[in-house]
Amino acid sequence: MKILAFAASNNPQSINQQLALSTARLLPQAKVETLKLDDYDLPVYSEQREHALGVPEQVTAFLQRIAVADGLIVAFAEHNGNFTAAFKNLYDWASRSKRHIFQHKPALFLAAAPGPGGAQSVLQTAVNAAPYMGAQLTGAVSVANFYQVFDQDAQLVKDSAVFIQLQQAALKLQQHIQQQAA
């Protein structure tokens, strides 16, 4: 079982990247692959640029990484209550090649924030957009007060209630993937 885990953020120190990877590690049977949105630096999408440039190679590479995965763990960073500009731009480009960019893969959506809101606004936006993105959503977990619940050195969630919530969500993703494979 191959899981692609990534943050919908181009911040190299993204807490959401840390959350996605630590959650993926809760599935010891999985082969976890990661990607960094920073590797998909694209011009701002417009129809004019699409006609002039065609589809950038990075977009094709992103879609191919999703195509070979059995499931996805995507952690959404929140900027002004919404997707990051980097993710939205990649989504806009990718959806021109493949409307359902997540290609009907089972997906677990996460969101983390350092404050008490837990990036719930962007997580709800992502959950609402899941059908349009082509995600078979198996769960969604918001993590508030990230620096209090996450052990930076060990790269794992130290709060037992949050850990259990993430573990249950990860196992549900795994079960969904296994059921599809059967």
pLDDT score, position 29: 92
**Complete DSSP assignment for 62-73:** HHHHHHT-SEEE
pLDDT score, position 37: 95
Q: What are the two backbone dihedrals, phi and then psi, of residue 48, each rounded to the nearest 5 degrees?
A: -60, -45
State the average pLDDT over residues 56-74.
98
State the average pLDDT over residues 129-156.
96
pLDDT exceeds cutoff 90 at 181? no
Q: What are the two backbone dihedrals, phi and then psi, of residue 144, each rounded to the nearest 5 degrees?
A: -90, 160
pLDDT band (50, 70, 90) for residue 44: very high
CATH architecture designation of domain 2-181: 3-Layer(aba) Sandwich (3.40)
What's the pLDDT tens digit per position in 113-135?
A: 999 999 999 999 999 999 999 99
85-98: b (≥16 Cβ within 10 Å) or e: ebbebbbbbbbeeb
pLDDT exceeds cutoff 90 at 111? yes
Exposed/middle/buried for residue 131 (C-beta within 10 Å: 0-12, 13-18, 19+): exposed
Ranges of each domain in the chain = 2-181
Q: Which residue has the tokens 């837990």?
A: 118
| Distance (Å, whole) CA 42 – CA 128 | 25
Tokens at residue 10, please? 């181009």
pLDDT exceeds cutoff 90 at 182? no
pLDDT score, position 150: 96
